[in-house]
Structure 1
Amino acid sequence: MPQQKSRKILIYIFLFLIIGTLNNKDLTKSNFIKLNTITVSGLKEKNNIDLVNKLNFLKFDNLMFLDKSQIVDIINSNTLVEKFFVIKKYPSTLNIEIQKTEFLAQTKKENKNFFLGSNGKLTRVDNFRSDIPYIFGEFKNKDFFELKEAVDESNFRYNQIKRLFFYKSGRWDIEMNNGLLIKLPRKEVKESLKLLIIFLDHNKKKNIKEVDLRQNKQIIIND
């Protein structure tokens, strides 16, 4: 009796392996898991549709074996994308959820208007906005994000900045919405901004037009 049971178990395992192998082969060729629907969400409708059109060449490919690198490259080529999630919904749908980049500043390059996003990419635009600072000067993204980090870590009011001026020496000036001009040093920007916050907090009633922080641990003002 034990021998017969063992033989039956072996036969069942053998049959299961054969059937499983056949089903796997059939699935890779079957229309059941071929991609026929692509959805993109998170951007404006026009931008969502644009990405869908760029990905349409994947239609009718096997959903299990899509080229991930192609999908990633196409999505990342869109300057509005900060993050994204690609979700395969079997049997035949690809859903792409996008987190839009935050526009942090605006500038001109080669006489064209651009927004600079938190993703480090420039997006071509027709018109500027009044709620983000305009950058003057030939800067690199690295220069801007180092300044932005210093501003954020010092709890300085980035949303009150009207203009940023970058100099070839690697130094920044900041113009605030209230007209105050701040001349920053090349190094120790965060420490200088923290010092400035304390100073301004103790001199709220003064009509200060310009603050020079270029000298180490010194504040020079122009009323």
Structure 2
Amino acid sequence: MHQRKSKKILIYFFLLIILSSVSNLNLYNSSFENIKTISVIGLNENDKNKIINDLKYLKLEKIFFLKEDKIIKIIQRYSIIEKFKIFKKYPSSLIINIEKAKLLAKMQYQNKIYYIGSNGKLSKDNYMKKELPYIFGAPDVIEFLNFQKTLVQSKIDYNHIKSLFFFKSKRWDIKLKNNITVKLPKKVDKLTLNNLWTILNDNRFENIKIIDLRINNQIILDG
């Protein structure tokens, strides 16, 4: 009787091993497949294909073991990208969701025209094909981004700006599309710009060509 029980236990034990092996094999096949498809969302067809082409070597990798650092290094080469998210869709698909940087202005750098993106990077191509303010002078990108942020937080319409002038003293002038030039103080805040907006919208000053705000508590107007 004891021998029969022992045999049954052995049979169940071997069955358990076989079933576990089959289950583990299925798990291995589903989780450890090579990457078969790479999808990029949020870019035009040309930029999308460039990134997919740069990432195609990942198709030799097992999706389960793929480290995102490899993808991040490639994505960060592209100046047009602001943010991105990486998704692994099992068993074998990689999906990258991309948010483009916004182009804010253009400037000359090393004798070439570059576009400044909201991500702080310079791009050679105006992929948005839109008219942008031109920066004269040589500000650091961070200096421009801080100034631009103050502008958009005020009542001033950034789309009405034709060009920006940066001086070594770290002061800015603005030229609007209606050809009014605004000389700003070294420290520009939201209140200063809102006061400027009030002047610009006052019909009494419609023939003014220069607004000088460089001296504290003074507004100098020149027609």
| Deviation string, structure 1 residues 49-108 (Cα, Å, up to 9, x no partner) | 111111111113111111211111211110011111212111111111211111110111
After superposing the two structures, state which structure 1 stretch, 169-178 or 97-106, moved more. Answer: 97-106
> Equivalents in 1 of 2:168, 2:97: separation in Å?
40
Aligned to 2:85: 85
- For 1:112, the equivalent position in structure 2 comes to 112
Q: How far apart, CA to CA, are the structure 1 residues paired with 2:60 and 2:159?
A: 48
1:21 deviates by 11
Q: Which runs of 5+ in 1 are unaligned?
A: 1-7
Could you tell me which amino acid in structure 1 is paired with residue 153 of structure 2? E
Structure number with greater Rg is 2
Distance 1:127 1:152, change over 3 A: closer
Which residue in the other structure is 1:42 paired with? 42
Letter in 2 for 1:39: S
Identity of aligned residues (%): 39
> Following TM superposition, by how much is the alpha carbon of 1:125 offset from its aligned partner in structure 2, in angstroms?
3.0
Give matches, 1:1-223, under 5 Å: 15=16, 19=20, 23=24, 27=28, 33-125=33-125, 131-203=131-203, 206-223=206-223
When the two structures are aligned, how many residues end up with a matched partner?
A: 211
Normalised TM-score (structure 1): 0.84
Q: Which amino acid aligns with 1:208?
A: I
Q: Quote the Cα distance in structure 1 between the aligned partners of 2:114 and 2:85.
A: 26
Contact 1:113 1:126 in 2 (8 A): no
Q: Deviations over 1:172-211 (max 9, x none)?
A: 1100000000011111332221111122233455301000
Decide whether aligned partners of structure 1 residues 20 and 117 sit closer, same or farther in structure 2, where only a CA change above 3 A counts: farther
**DSSP-derived class of the 1:114 partner:** strand
Amino acid at match of 2:141: N
**Do 2:88 and 2:95's aligned partners in 1 also have CA atoms closer than 8 Å?**
yes
Secondary structure at 1:64's aligned position in 2?
A: coil
After TM superposition, the score normalised by the length of structure 2 is 0.84
Query: Structure 1 residue 120: deviation in Å?
Result: 0.8
Please give the secondary structure, in 2, of the residue aligned with 1:78: coil
- In the alignment, structure 2 segments of 5+ residues that lack a partner are 1-8
| Cα distance, 1:46 vs structure 2 | 1.5
